[in-house]
Structure 1
Amino acid sequence: MTTKLWITLAVILLSYRSECHEAVLHVSDWTTYKEYCLVYNASWSNISSSLSDAPRYKLVNLTSTTLCDVGRVKLDLKGTAVCVMRGECAFSQKAQVAQQLGVKVLLIASKEAMGTPSANDSEYDKVTIPLALLRYRDFLDMQKVFTDGMEVQLYAPPSPDFDASVIIMLLIAVFTVAMGGFWSGAAEKAKQSVTSLSAGEERSDSGDLTLYSPLKVLLFVALMCVMLVLMYFFYRYLVYVIIVIFCLASATGLYSCLEALLNAVGCSKLSVSCGEKSCSIRNLLLAAVCIILAVVWGVYRNEDRWIWILQDVLGIAFCLNFMKTITLSNYKICVILLSLLLVYDVFFVFITPFLTPNGESIMVQVALGPGAGGEKGSGDVVVPADPTPSYEKLPVVMRIPRFSAWAENLCEMQFSILGYGDIIIPGLLVAYCHRFDVWTGSSSRIYFVSCAVAYALGLVLTFVVMLLSKMGQPALLYLVPFTLLTSGLLAWKRKEFKQFWAGTTYQKETLNTTAQ
Structure 2
Amino acid sequence: MESVFVPHKSRKANVSKMERAVRIVVLLAVFLSSEINCQEAILHVSHGNTEREYCIVHNHSWTPLSQTLDAALQYPLVNMTSTVLCNSSGVTPDVVKGKALVVMRGDCDFSQKALVAQSLGATTLLIASNRTLITPSANDSEYAKIHIPLALMRYRDFLEVQVSGEGVQVKLYAPPHSKLDPSIAVMLLIAVVTVALGGFWSGACERDRLKSGVAGGGRGESKAESGELFLYSPLKVVVFVALMCGMLVLMYFFYNVLVYVIIAIFCLASASALFSCLDAVMDLIGCGTGSFSVRNWNLSVRSLILAAVCISIAVVWGVNRNEDRWIWILQDLLGIAFCLNFMKTISLSNFKICVILLSLLLVYDVFFVFITPFFTKNGVSIMVQVALGPDASGEKTQGNMVEVPAEPQTPSEKLPVVMRVPRFSSWAQNLCGMQFSILGYGDIIVPGLLVAYCSRFDVWINSSKKIYFISCCIAYLLGIIATFAVMLLSGMGQPALLYLVPFTLITSAVVAGCRGEMRQFWAGTTYEVRGPERVLDSSREPLLPEGRTDCSVEGDKC
Query: What is the TM-score of this pair, normalised by structure 2?
Result: 0.84
Q: Which residue of 2 aligns with 1:515?
A: 555
Q: Give matches, 1:78-89, under 5 Å.
A: 78-89=97-108
C-alpha displacement of 1:508 = 4.2
Higher relative contact order structure (alpha carbons within 8 Å, sequence separation ≥ 6): 1
Q: Deviations over 1:134-185 (max 9, x none)?
A: 11222233334x3454211100101212111111111110000000000111
Confirm or deny that 1:179 pairs with 2:200: no
Q: Which residue of 1 aligns with 2:177?
A: 159
The answer to whether the Cα contact below 8 Å between 2:36 and 2:177 also exists between their aligned partners in 1 is no
C-alpha displacement of 1:207 = 2.4
Alignment counterpart, residue 55 of structure 1, candidates 62, 67, 73: 73
SS at 1:76's partner residue?
helix
Alignment counterpart, residue 119 of structure 2, candidates 54, 76, 100: 100
Unaligned 5+ runs, structure 2 = 1-34, 215-221, 528-535, 544-551
Q: Which residue of 2 aligns with 1:424?
A: 445
Q: Give matches, 1:8-87, under 5 Å.
A: 20-74=38-92, 76-87=95-106
The answer to whether the Cα contact below 8 Å between 2:37 and 2:176 also exists between their aligned partners in 1 is no
The answer to whether the Cα contact below 8 Å between 1:387 and 1:412 also exists between their aligned partners in 2 is no
The answer to whether the Cα contact below 8 Å between 2:37 and 2:175 also exists between their aligned partners in 1 is no
Distance in structure 2 (CA, Å) of the matches to 1:421 and 1:389: 28
Alignment counterpart, residue 228 of structure 2, candidates 208, 224, 227: 208
The answer to whether the Cα contact below 8 Å between 2:37 and 2:177 also exists between their aligned partners in 1 is no
**Match of 1:368, as an amino acid?**
L
Distance in structure 2 (CA, Å) of the matches to 1:305 and 1:340: 37
Alignment counterpart, residue 251 of structure 1, candidates 258, 265, 271: 271
Q: Which residue of 2 aligns with 1:319?
A: 339
Q: Which residue of 1 aligns with 2:254?
A: 234
The answer to whether the Cα contact below 8 Å between 1:349 and 1:362 also exists between their aligned partners in 2 is yes
Unaligned 5+ runs, structure 1 = 1-16, 197-201
**Match of 2:136, as an amino acid?**
P
Q: Deviations over 1:376-407 (max 9, x none)?
A: 33331111223545411221111111111213
C-alpha displacement of 1:355 = 2.3
Shift of the 203–227 alpha-carbon distance from structure 1 to 2, 3 Å rule, reads: farther
C-alpha displacement of 1:408 = 4.9
**Match of 2:259, as an amino acid?**
V
**Match of 2:494, as an amino acid?**
Q
Shift of the 387–312 alpha-carbon distance from structure 1 to 2, 3 Å rule, reads: farther
Q: Deviations over 1:423-457 (max 9, x none)?
A: 00000000011111111111111111111111001
Shift of the 513–155 alpha-carbon distance from structure 1 to 2, 3 Å rule, reads: same
Q: Which residue of 2 aligns with 1:10?
A: none
Distance in structure 2 (CA, Å) of the matches to 1:18 and 1:382: 18
The answer to whether the Cα contact below 8 Å between 1:45 and 1:128 also exists between their aligned partners in 2 is yes
Confirm or deny that 1:221 pairs with 2:261: no
Shift of the 258–367 alpha-carbon distance from structure 1 to 2, 3 Å rule, reads: same
SS at 1:327's partner residue?
strand
Distance in structure 2 (CA, Å) of the matches to 1:408 and 1:130: 22
**Match of 1:123, as an amino acid?**
E
The answer to whether the Cα contact below 8 Å between 1:308 and 1:400 also exists between their aligned partners in 2 is yes
Once superposed, what is the RMSD of the aligned Cα atoms? Answer: 2.1
The answer to whether the Cα contact below 8 Å between 1:18 and 1:470 also exists between their aligned partners in 2 is no
Distance in structure 1 (CA, Å) of the matches to 2:265 and 2:433: 27
Q: Which residue of 1 aligns with 2:304?
A: 284
Distance in structure 2 (CA, Å) of the matches to 1:508 and 1:222: 30
The answer to whether the Cα contact below 8 Å between 2:468 and 2:508 also exists between their aligned partners in 1 is yes
The answer to whether the Cα contact below 8 Å between 2:100 and 2:122 also exists between their aligned partners in 1 is yes
Q: Percent identity?
A: 65
Distance in structure 1 (CA, Å) of the matches to 2:99 and 2:472: 62
SS at 1:371's partner residue?
coil
Shift of the 219–203 alpha-carbon distance from structure 1 to 2, 3 Å rule, reads: farther
SS at 1:28's partner residue?
strand
Q: Give matches, 1:99-498, under 5 Å.
A: 99-144=118-163, 146-147=164-165, 149-195=167-213, 204-373=224-393, 375-388=396-409, 390-408=411-429, 410-498=431-519
**Match of 1:208, as an amino acid?**
E
Distance in structure 2 (CA, Å) of the matches to 1:72 and 1:230: 57
Shift of the 392–169 alpha-carbon distance from structure 1 to 2, 3 Å rule, reads: same
Distance in structure 1 (CA, Å) of the matches to 2:400 and 2:425: 19
Distance in structure 2 (CA, Å) of the matches to 1:189 and 1:147: 74
C-alpha displacement of 1:282 = 1.7
Shift of the 321–147 alpha-carbon distance from structure 1 to 2, 3 Å rule, reads: farther
Shift of the 69–225 alpha-carbon distance from structure 1 to 2, 3 Å rule, reads: same
C-alpha displacement of 1:92 = 1.4
Which stretch has the larger CA shift, 370-379 or 88-97? Answer: 370-379
SS at 2:86's partner residue?
coil
Q: Which residue of 2 aligns with 1:3?
A: none
C-alpha displacement of 1:86 = 1.3
Q: Deviations over 1:448-478 (max 9, x none)?
A: 1111111001111111111111211111111
**Match of 2:228, as an amino acid?**
D
Q: Deviations over 1:217-262 (max 9, x none)?
A: 1111111111112222222222222211211111111111111111
Q: Which residue of 1 aligns with 2:6?
A: none
C-alpha displacement of 1:419 = 0.6
Which stretch has the larger CA shift, 471-480 or 64-73? Answer: 64-73
SS at 2:148's partner residue?
coil
SS at 1:413's partner residue?
coil
C-alpha displacement of 1:206 = 3.3
Q: Deviations over 1:347-373 (max 9, x none)?
A: 111112222233222212222222222
Shift of the 234–370 alpha-carbon distance from structure 1 to 2, 3 Å rule, reads: same
Query: What is the TM-score of this pair, normalised by structure 1?
Result: 0.91
Distance in structure 2 (CA, Å) of the matches to 1:263 and 1:435: 21
Which stretch has the larger CA shift, 157-166 or 370-379? Answer: 370-379
Which stretch has the larger CA shift, 224-233 or 386-395? Answer: 386-395
Q: Deviations over 1:400-425 (max 9, x none)?
A: 11111213553121111111100000
Q: Deviations over 1:270-323 (max 9, x none)?
A: 211112221112211211111111111111111111111111111111111111
The answer to whether the Cα contact below 8 Å between 2:237 and 2:357 also exists between their aligned partners in 1 is yes
SS at 1:215's partner residue?
helix
| Rg larger in structure | 2
**Match of 2:367, as an amino acid?**
F
Q: Deviations over 1:80-131 (max 9, x none)?
A: 1122221122211221222232211111111111111112223223322111
SS at 1:55's partner residue?
coil
